[in-house]
Structure 1
Amino acid sequence: MPELPEVHGYKVYIDSTCLHNTITSFVCRDTKLLKQPENDFKEHLIGKKLIGTQRIGKYLFVKTSGDKILVMHFGMTGRPNYYKDPEDRPKFGHIVLGFDNDFHFAFENKRKFGWWNLIDSIKDYKAEKGLSDDARELSLEEFKTSLENRKTHIKKVIMDQSVAAGVGNWMADEILYQAKIHPKKKVNDMTEVDIKNVFDAMKNVIEVAIKHDSHYSDFPDDFFIHIRKEGEPCHHTGAEIQKIKVGGRTTYFSPEWQMK
């Protein structure tokens, strides 16, 4: 699933391609991907321009020259695709905007878990969805405050979008590996040092992933992503990586490196 670094890349891509062109058409092959009636999208997008973007976690907000803001969520397999020749429309480009420069913007969505919405206010939407500030922008104090009175496993907590918007499954495993924290460690059992280590690891993982455009193979050699598979040897101890479930999510960790 696209997480914070991937969606950051999509933001950069959209910013550099399809902004400031007038939308001339809106085509949707599957209206289940739309949170509003299709005619609302046509009414509020056709004749307007996309003028800027803002990302909060895995949500991408695209401001328009009209009175609505377009929200994109990329689900499991979503990604943007900007192209010119109509014959180049990607196979899974289920939503397509046409522009007056004869280019097109396709929202690729193979597994159809992604969606579009139209909203009036990013601030109100953020509050409605209970989103924290973007994990890249969080301060240590904000992070610590979000963890107060939490008694569940740290893996589940840092994936909570009200705590650290944008952190998903692979990132959580990577963060806890870098911080040497067991994914089932209870937040109320963590020390101040533990919490800071998780925070620092989160910031580092985010910046490394963005720097390398989420190309995992380019991540530093000691990153968990390279061995995130049951039975693989830990970089630090050689012990086999184990797989468990935490909060219903498949979780990988190094048992001798990440002690409870």
Structure 2
Amino acid sequence: MPELPEVHGYKVYIDSTILHKTIISMDCRDKKLLKKAYGDFEKFLVGEQLTFTRRIGKYLFVNTTGPKVLVMHFGMTGRPSYYKEADDRPKFGHIVLAFDNDFHFAFENKRKFGWWDLIDSIADYKQDHGLSDDARELSFEDFKNSLSTRKTDIKKVLLDQSVAAGVGNWMADEILYQAKMHPQKKIENMTETDVKAVFDAMKKVIEVAIENDAHYDSFPEDFLMHFREKEGTCFHTGGPIEKIKVGGRATYFSPKWQEK
């Protein structure tokens, strides 16, 4: 699933391709991907321009010259595609906008878990959906306060979008590996030093992933992503990587490196 770094890359791509061009038509092959009626999308998008984007976690908000904000969520396999010839529409480009410069924008969505919505206010949407500040922008004080009343595993908390919007499963595993923290460490047993270690590791993982366009092969050699598999070999200890379930999610960690 696209997580914060991938969606950041999509934001950069969209910023460099489809902004400030007039939308002349819209086509949707599967209207189940739209959170509002198709007619509403045509009404509020066709004839308008997309002006700027804002990302909060895995959500991408696109302001328009009209009264509505377009929300994109990329689901499991979603991604943007900008192309010229109509015949070049991607196979899984289920939603397409056409612009007055004769180019097109496709929202590719192979498994159809992604979706679009139209909203009035980003701030209201953020509050209504219980989103924290974006994990890249999150302050240590807000992160620490979010953990202060929790009594569960740190891995579960990292996946809570009201705590660190944008952190998904692979990122949580990587953050805890870099922080040398066991994924089942209970929040109530963590010191402020532990919490700061996790926070700093989160910021580090986000920046490394963004700098490398979420290309895992380019990550530093001590990153878990290079050996994030059962019986993989820990960079630091040479011991095996183990796989367990935490909060129903597959979790990879090094028992010798991330002691409980």
TM-score by length of 1: 1.00
What one-letter code is carried by the residue in structure 2 that aligns with 1:11?
K
- 1:82-118: per-residue Cα shift (whole Å, max 9, x none)? 0001111000000000000000000000000000000
Aligned to 1:18, the other structure's residue is in SS state coil
Partner of 2:201 in structure 1? 201
Measured on the aligned residues, the alpha-carbon RMSD in Å equals 0.4
Segments of 4+ moved more than 6 angstroms: none
What one-letter code is carried by the residue in structure 1 that aligns with 2:171?
M
Partner of 1:56 in structure 2? 56
Mapping of residues 202-217 of structure 1, within 5 Å: 202-217=202-217
Aligned to 1:144, the other structure's residue is in SS state helix
Partner of 1:107 in structure 2? 107
Partner of 1:34 in structure 2? 34
Is 2:252 the partner of 1:252?
yes
Partner of 1:120 in structure 2? 120
Mapping of residues 95-244 of structure 1, within 5 Å: 95-244=95-244
Partner of 2:76 in structure 1? 76
Cα offset, 1:153, TM superposition? 0.5
Cα offset, 1:149, TM superposition? 1.1
- 1:169-200: per-residue Cα shift (whole Å, max 9, x none)? 00000000000000011111111111000000
Q: Which runs of 5+ in 2 are unaligned?
A: none
Aligned to 1:11, the other structure's residue is in SS state helix
The alignment-based identity, stated in percent, is: 73
Cα offset, 1:255, TM superposition? 0.6
- Quote the Cα distance in structure 1 between the aligned partners of 2:24 and 2:33: 20
Aligned to 1:32, the other structure's residue is in SS state helix
- Quote the Cα distance in structure 2 between the aligned partners of 1:52 and 1:58: 17
Aligned to 1:107, the other structure's residue is in SS state strand
- Quote the Cα distance in structure 2 between the aligned partners of 1:145 and 1:42: 42
What one-letter code is carried by the residue in structure 2 that aligns with 1:82?
Y
- Quote the Cα distance in structure 1 between the aligned partners of 2:242 and 2:112: 31
